[in-house]
Amino acid sequence: MDTKSHPIPTTFDSDVFSALEKFDRRVYFRWDLTTDVLELHGPAHPNSYDIAPRIAPASTILWHSGLLHQEDATILRVYLNTIFCHHIHRPKGSCNHICKLRLRGNGCHEYIWSEIHLITYFDGFMPVVAYGNIRNIQAQKLWQQRIEREAAHDQLTGLLNKDATRLRITKHLASLSPDIDQEALLIIDADGFKEINDSFGHLFGDAVLTDMGNAIMHNFRQSDIKGRIGGDEFLVLFRNISDPEILHDRCQSLIRQLERRYKNGQQELPFSISIGVAQYPQHGTTYQELFKHADRALYESKNLGKNQYTIYRSSLLGQASVTSHRTPKDFEDFQQKAFKDNMIEFIFKLLYETNSPDATISISLGMFGKLFNLDRVGLDLYDPDTNQYTTAYEWLSPNGISLKSSERADDTFDSISMRNTLILSGYKATSYGVMSICEDTSKAADRYQPAMAALHLGAFAHCMITHGSDTLGCIGFEYSRPHTIDDECRHALSVFAVILGNILLTSYSDDKLRQQNMQLRSLLDHMQEMIYVVDKITMSPIYFNRSIRQALPDVNAGHPCYQVLHKRSTPCPGCPVLQLSGEGSEYIQCDLSNWDKDRPTCTRACNLHIDKVDDTRPLALVIQEPI
């Protein structure tokens, strides 16, 4: 029998590419940005998606039809804003975009996670056409979510693990109101587990812990937060307590369920649990406060004979009959080790748990000080109006001298000025960022020596803190004696400066802008004209002045202005917003009959530029004469 031979490719030719594309099952499309028409192309059949072969007008349908998941719709807006409104010179005449979003599946209401690659081509500054492909990454995303779920749960019991328990309880407590909510934190600890584990073996011990986890799971509601935080220690946040008797009943019920004797051959050992309870808000409103008081109540239960529960009371704090194994020094050492092992993760967890950039900065300065045996860690903020640096945060060792204006001596002003001059003169670009480093200040010019002696400054490393093109300040590590600034120290300083500039200090750079915006809002509210600000892409208002709010008390954003204000399904004829260019400074005036067809209203519109704001939406300011 003759066998038909097929040519075997020896290079990456078009046939190989086509075969790989079919195998990968990507959906290809072409988007004509001048006519706003999107068309699908081969080689794969888009049977996974609810996408028509031809979509026009594409931007409107993609935005309003629900084809994109509502949480991912902003990705489309950012893309359109980037290509139409950011007049950037592109030497290659194109730009690339990659994003992950959810698209509606074909024949169902479920959304499919997809990855989109897009190449946009320009004629000068004007986008002309975009070519792209869509790849189904649903399985990959589900697997990732499964891994994340597994990472948050204890494999033995199925309950949350220690970190996930703490984070979820901390986040939940932050949403509560002390005037309304009643909740309780329970620490549950096994009595006699060590003897059982040592006598019967670890497999038997694991079975006991699994049984304990199951009992906790079924004794509390699904809405309660339940986790295993140690070998035989569990934590429960009992939520929405409408009656204190319910709390007593749940504690007593769990104690009864787990009171038993385990046998292995001729050997028999008792097992029970002890519980310590702290109530929100009576005994604290934060995770740390509640845990501390529940822990004290737990050891009172142990001290009274175990196999019982104790609700915290203030008199327990002064008793010395039982000493918790969690001493402040142990906790401090644990924190310092966690900070050293993974500085970035520690800082982000700290920010998440405290929800306070101020607290995160203050604690982090102390961590750096202890990690590198520093004498002072200082964060100076820069004021561009005065061209001055002012200490906003600092940590001091016993040898450190404070440079805060409220704490320093009056005669140190000249010394601080000389210190700042020396530091600023030493800034230069390094592989770790823009830094000023001096390992021995005694080698500096003679004019600096009195200041160095007065401020006990023997060595320093300072790193500039920036956000975009703005200088926010500097972060400095300082020693009272000459000291070698090693790579580990420089790297840590650089990383912290990046975190400060991009996350922790961004609010400071926007303070003046925020004040100016408030003044602008107040000014607009006192004008008689009807004034509002709209998103030029969606035409949705994001601000109404008082004249509109008083005339139309039920008005709200979320829909296009022509629908919200004038009950229209299409833009008002002659709308000046539609006549504005991408980012021009033109001022368009016309007469519109949108409020009253018999009385045209003088209407003016211009592009609105708000500098230093992360929201990149193109905005327009609209002013209409009073009705």
Contact 306, 329 (CB under 8 A): no
In angstroms, what CA-CA distances link 313 with 103, 239, 287? 54, 20, 17
Burial 474-497 (b: 16+ CB within 10 A, else e): bbbbbbbeebebeeebbebbbbbb
Burial 440-466 (b: 16+ CB within 10 A, else e): ebeebeeebeebbebbebbbbbbbbbb
Q: Is residue 64 part of a domain?
A: yes
Residues whose CB falls within 8 Å of the CB of residue 221, separated by 6 or more in sequence, listed in order:
239
Predicted pLDDT of residue 476 = 95
Q: How many helices (H) and strands (E) does the chain have?
A: 19, 23
> Residue 492: which CATH number?
3.30.450.40
Q: Is residue 2 part of a domain?
A: no
Is 427 in a helix, a strand, or coil? coil
User: Pairing between strand 267-280 and 309-311?
Assistant: parallel
Q: Does 537 lie in the same domain as 449?
A: no
Predicted pLDDT of residue 461 = 96
> Residue 595: which CATH number?
3.30.450.20
Total number of domains in the chain? 4
Give the side-chain half-sphere CA count within 13 A for 200. 23
| pLDDT beneath 70: ranges in the chain | 1-6, 17-18, 21-24, 42-47, 86-91, 108-109, 148, 315-336, 338, 353-354, 385-386, 406-411, 506-519, 554-558, 582-585, 610-616, 627
Q: Does 102 lie in the same domain as 41?
A: yes
Q: Does 428 lie in the same domain as 296?
A: no
| String of DSSP letters for 359-377 | HHHHHHHHHHHHHTT-SEE
Rounded CA-CA distance 557/565 in Å is: 10
Q: Does 268 lie in the same domain as 181?
A: yes
pTM: 0.39
> Tokens in use for 508?
């400071």
Contact 346, 339 (CB under 8 A): yes
Is 120 in a helix, a strand, or coil? strand
Q: Does 359 lie in the same domain as 452?
A: yes
Q: Does 354 lie in the same domain as 317?
A: no
- Residue from 475, 348, 355, 454 nearest 408 by CA: 454
Single residue among 291, 323, 355 that ends a domain in this structure: 323
Please give the torsion angle defined by the CA atoms of residues 7, 12, 15 and 19, in that order, rounded to the nearest 10 degrees.
Answer: 110
Single residue among 509, 544, 560 that ends a domain in this structure: 509
- Residue from 332, 364, 369 nearest 351 by CA: 364
Q: Is residue 9 part of a domain?
A: no
The Cα angle at residue 608 between residues 541 and 97, in degrees rounded to 5: 85
Q: Does 354 lie in the same domain as 458?
A: yes
Helices 343-354 and 357-371 cross at an angle (nearest 10°) of 150
Predicted pLDDT of residue 584 = 64
First to last CA, the chain: 91
Q: Is residue 417 part of a domain?
A: yes
Torsions phi, psi for 431 (to 5 deg): -70, -15
Report the run of H or E that residue 129 belongs to, with start and end. Answer: strand 126-136
Q: Does 175 lie in the same domain as 305?
A: yes
Q: Does 160 lie in the same domain as 74?
A: no
Predicted pLDDT of residue 598 = 79
Rounded CA-CA distance 482/486 in Å is: 13
Q: Does 183 lie in the same domain as 65?
A: no
Q: Is residue 504 part of a domain?
A: yes
> Residue 301: which CATH number?
3.30.70.270
Q: Is residue 8 part of a domain?
A: no
Rounded CA-CA distance 45/42 in Å is: 7
Q: Is residue 63 part of a domain?
A: yes
Q: Does 527 lie in the same domain as 495?
A: no
Domain ranges, residue 590: 512-624
User: Pairing between strand 309-311 and 94-104?
Assistant: unpaired
Predicted pLDDT of residue 485 = 94
Rounded CA-CA distance 408/369 in Å is: 20
Cβ–Cβ contacts within 10 Å for residue 473, how many? 25
Contact 216, 188 (CB under 8 A): yes
Single residue among 97, 122, 141 that ends a domain in this structure: 141
Q: Does 517 lie in the same domain as 453?
A: no
User: Pairing between strand 233-238 and 225-228?
Assistant: antiparallel
Print the SS3 string covering 298-313: HHHHHHCCCCCEEECC
Rounded CA-CA distance 72/177 in Å is: 32
Q: Is residue 1 part of a domain?
A: no
Torsions phi, psi for 507 (to 5 deg): -65, -35
> Tokens in use for 103?
């698209």
